[in-house]
Chains A and B, each alone.
Chain A
């Protein structure tokens, strides 16, 4: 994280809920503090509430209840044009009847910035996104990537305290997307503004964000850095949405120490208790594929879980090898390892993984 500029905004959602008529609730209850100058990503599948959260923050919708505070000021009922927030839209929303320069000058014109000052600032951001030579073209004469940069330039030229981006890379091809990701990171560093980025692409979230808020079904599942979310997911949803996980759902044991077990289908799996692990009822034991090993069936080892199964498939992926094991208790497990690991010769194997790398989380 870079040093936040003094003008970067701090955003707080306080028990924000949004319902549409009698329909399903878009956002159940949202409590989230976005720190000054941070790059936070709202990540989730479509319909999870992340876009609604963005629209509430931008002012296109009003919360049904709760408050949204920007730098301590309640903006929940403030119309969008008074919020001073830069926005980059999924399909860029460039004004088709204006040139690149006119598009970028638009927010300055609304603020009655003097002509000379306006020209200087437009030139500055044009240089920042390397589009100087396209200044007098119309948006339709530009490629998707160039249009996207115009949209970013237009959203930052008035130096907003907060920059929102709604899946801004969704319409770009993969290769272009990677270079734009780095470009956006650079712009965030140079501006020092707070950035709220919405995406359903977990890889994009991992690359770009200081912190990630994972949304599902109108609720935040977990907020944290990429490492925290990947290494210490707090719910089954987070574990499965962010990267791959092996997962066993069962009755959680009532013992209250750091370790507990999930028992289901006549086998117990032990793992680390987390702050949100229930003391009774259903829970999920989760472990990442790269923490598992496929070994010949031998006696159990202290500190490890062992699940017997049959090796069904081995897929060679270049930098790693991926194995799929059909488990005797039903279902299958995915194990990844480096290609030089020697595999057991028999098909009857054990999937073995350390209890310390297994987490018991609320089932979803």
Chain B
């Protein structure tokens, strides 16, 4: 057997293994999709009859308000993380201060510390500040959690950024602010956008902090899903999950495309 056929066999085995892992990850999610169209009032699989009633059921204030809350919080988190995360990335990459090592760790900390502990801490503090059950409370907590999603790609993009471009811009007559908006920002924009998208998703999907911060009058979509799931066996949540799945997949694909474009941009630049 030649080395070439050996290599071919390895490649086939690898492809097979990857397919299996992929199926293992995706199938549990994929089961949700047919159930959302199921005619029965249970999670029986495979469904015996089909209906779109679950989707019709969603048009109730309970679900629409939760969705709206989630969207508002996630959009504000995305905006806040885009600005703060980009500024923090500049500080981390461009400042020579030793304090930046600490800053980097602090920004990563919420992702490293067990989420339940973060949730408890945030809950106790926000209770005192009367921020539980408010949009600002959710936004602050989720933004702290999602900041690394922006800081990490933007810092990476700044690290490979050729600073002679900024010098060139200055020598050609552009003041520092003009240089930022015409040169630096357009080049790191894909990193900011992909990070912002992930920050949006990080908030949109987040359950643990939301469970701590929820109030009877303010509930996000994941909390509503969780409640329904634990209270009643209701296939309506399968419909919500299907919609959410489609939305998240779309977001991730956009983020991946942006990331690829960034990588291509730095290679060529």
Contacts and interface: CB of A to CB of B under 8 A. Distances in A.
Interface of A: 58-60, 79-81, 83-87, 89-91, 93-97, 106-107, 110-111, 138, 140, 154-155, 158
A81 B187 contact: no
Contact of A80 (B165, B167, B186, B265): B167
Interface stretch (B104-112, B138-146, B171-179, B230-238): B171-179
A158 B173 contact: yes
A225 B187 CA distance: 44
Interface of B: 162, 164-165, 167-176, 178-179, 182-183, 186-187, 265, 268-269
A212 B173 CA distance: 28
Given A93-B167, A97-B187, A110 B269 contact: no
A91 B179 CA distance: 19
A110 B187 contact: no
20 contacts: A58-B167, A59-B170, A59-B171, A60-B167, A80-B170, A81-B179, A89-B167, A91-B162, A93-B162, A93-B168, A95-B168, A95-B183, A96-B165, A97-B186, A97-B187, A106-B182, A107-B173, A110-B172, A110-B178, A154-B172
A332 to B, nearest CB: 43
Contacts of A95: 165, 168-169, 183
A95 B181 CA distance: 13
B172 A96 contact: no
Contact of A81 (B171, B182, B186): B171
Chain B facing A: main interface SS: helix
Given A93-B162, A111-B173, A158-B173, A87 B265 contact: no
Given A89-B168, A93-B168, A110 B162 contact: no
Contacts of B178: 110
A87 B186 CA distance: 22
Nearest to A164: B171
Contacts of B174: 81, 106, 110
B113 to A, nearest CB: 38
A79, A83, A87 interface centre (most CB from chain B within 10 Å): A87
B170 A79 contact: yes
A87 B171 contact: yes
Given A81-B169, A140-B269, 8 more contacts: A81-B176, A86-B171, A87-B168, A87-B172, A93-B167, A106-B174, A155-B171, A158-B172
Nearest to B164: A93
Given A93-B162, A95-B183, A97-B187, A106 B167 contact: no
B173 to A, nearest CB: 4
A87 B164 CA distance: 11
Nearest to B174: A110
A86 B168 CA distance: 9
B175 A81 contact: yes
Nearest to B186: A97
Nearest to B265: A96
B164, B171, B172 interface centre (most CB from chain A within 10 Å): B172
A154 B186 CA distance: 19
A134 to B, nearest CB: 16
Given A89-B164, A97-B186, A58 B171 contact: yes
B173, B182, B269 interface centre (most CB from chain A within 10 Å): B173
B173 A84 contact: yes
A173 B165 CA distance: 23
Contacts of A85: 171
Contacts of B179: 81
Contacts of A138: 268
A97, A107, A158 interface centre (most CB from chain B within 10 Å): A97
Contacts of A59: 170-171
Contacts of B269: 96, 140
B37 to A, nearest CB: 46
| 6 nearest CB pairs, A to B | A96-B269, A107-B172, A93-B168, A110-B173, A140-B268, A87-B171
Given A110-B178, A140-B268, A140-B269, A93 B170 contact: no
A79 B164 CA distance: 16
Contacts of A80: 167, 170-171
Contact of B265 (A58, A81, A89, A97): A97
A140 B269 CA distance: 7
A89 B171 CA distance: 10
A289 to B, nearest CB: 40
